[in-house]
C-alpha cells in the first residue's frame, strides 16, 4: 500500500467521522452560547 493510498483512506475515515461528530459539535456550541 503506497503512502498516498494510506493518506487517502485515512482522510476518508476522518471525513466520515467528522460527518458523525459535526452535528454533535454544533449542538454543544449552541448549548454553550
Q: Report the 3 state secondary structure along the chain.
A: CCHHHHHHHHHHHHHHHHHHHHHHHHHHHHHHC
How many CB atoms lie under 10 A from the CB of residue 30?
8
Q: Tell which wins on pLDDT, 1 or 13.
A: 13
33 has a pLDDT exceeding 80 = no
What pTM did the predictor assign?
Answer: 0.46
Q: What is the pLDDT of residue 4?
A: 94
Cell numbers at 12, concatenated: 476518508
Helix (H) or strand (E) holding 1, with range, is none
pLDDT tens, residue by residue, 4-13 = 999 999 999 9
Q: Using pLDDT thresholds of 50, 70 and 90, give the confidence band for residue 2.
A: very high
pLDDT tops 80 at residue 19: yes
Domain positions in the chain are 1-33
Amino acid at each position: 500500500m503506497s503512502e498516498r493510498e494510506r493518506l487517502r483512506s485515512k482522510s476518508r475515515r476522518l471525513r466520515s467521522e467528522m460527518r458523525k461528530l459535526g452535528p454533535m459539535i454544533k449542538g454543544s456550541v449552541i448549548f454553550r452560547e
